[in-house]
A and B are shown apart, each in its own frame.
Chain A
Amino acid sequence: MVEGRKKTVGMMLFSAPFSSQYADHMCRLAEKALEKGYNVEIFLYGDAVHAQMSEQRPKTFFPVGDAIGRLVEKGAAVYSCEICSIARGYIKGELKDGKKDYSSTKVIAGIRFCSIYGFVEMLGRADKVLSFGGS
């Protein structure tokens, strides 16, 4: 990486893991970007929120859940669309003591939930943005 301000790559995943390789590609590119010293921010949207499910156990496919967990541990900011996650039963998202309830036993630790406006804010921070999948 060139010396100076640490650059940020934003990645938006639209496709569910194991239905295509888009999640695999995104995880590999994100790991490489972190290795090279870039900030990585990821936004999961639509069926891509299934990538956040804990305890994924693929027998032969690329282990997307393990890769997402590793990315979080290495410092990537992984955001998930709250509406998409509520719709698919990952979180309740209801107000609890004045705050939204994002607690879940079904989600990989460290995933952050936000609205689509969070994605817009991510765009503002990113030097380059890559999108993966979608129809």
Chain B
Amino acid sequence: MRTCILLMRTSSSEEDSGRLFGLIRRAVGSDIAIYLLGDGVLLARKGQKGYHADGINEALNKGAKVFACSRDLRARGILSGEIEAGIEATDDLEGVFIEDSMEKAGRVFSW
């Protein structure tokens, strides 16, 4: 079953992160797509260490598709060369997410 996860923020604490990435870990291995929007795009910056980045990297390593909103990356000064390998920046994140979640996903989470 395909799972779509819309992340609009980063985690605010290790406990919060544990809830968020616990959810992602449970879904990884199935068909999963993660969409980074708003402050969620801060998770796309490469080279991050710690609980913020571990979940995304783990998801990428296990085959999850990860998309980030180009508009929100630009707004936060994150250049294309600063994005973690495997994360796809898109100008139409909202459109891709809506179509994916409405037509393909069995489960959709927004965070």
Taking Cβ atoms with an 8 Å cutoff, the residues of A that contact B are 1-2, 7, 9, 21-22, 24-25, 28-29, 31-33, 35-36, 38, 127-132
Q: Which residues of B contact A2 (CB under 8 A)?
A: 103
B92 shortest CB reach to chain A, Å: 8
Q: Is the beta-carbon distance between A127 and B39 smaller than 8 angstroms?
A: no
Chain B residues in 8 Å Cβ range of A32:
92, 94-95, 98
**Interface bracket on B:** 10 to 19
The answer to whether B97 and A25 touch across the interface, beta carbons within 8 angstroms, is no
Cβ contacts B69-111/A at 8 Å (1 or 0 each): 0000000000000000000000010110111011101001010
In the complex the two chains form, is A7's CB within 8 Å of B102's CB? yes
In residues 1-25 of chain B, which contact A (Cβ within 8 Å)?
6, 8
Assembled-state Cα–Cα distance A39/B21 (Å): 31
6 more contacts with CB within 8 A, not counting A9-B98, A33-B102, A36-B99, are A2-B103, A7-B102, A21-B39, A24-B38, A25-B37, A33-B98
Query: What is the chain B residue whose CB lies nearest that of A128?
Result: B108
For the complex formed, measure the closest distance between the CB of A34 and the CB atoms of chain B, giving whole angstroms: 10
* Given A21-B38, A25-B38, CB of A128 within 8 Å of CB of B101: yes
Chain B residues lying within 8 Å of A127, measured Cβ to Cβ, are: 102
Chain B residues, Cβ within 8 Å of A25: 8, 37-38
Q: Which residue of B lies closest to A7 (CB)?
A: B102
- Can you list 14 A-B pairs with a CB-CB distance of less than 8 A? A1-B99, A1-B103, A21-B39, A24-B38, A25-B8, A32-B92, A32-B94, A32-B98, A36-B98, A127-B102, A129-B108, A130-B101, A130-B108, A132-B110
Contacts A130-B108, A132-B110 given: A28-B39 contact, CB under 8 Å? no
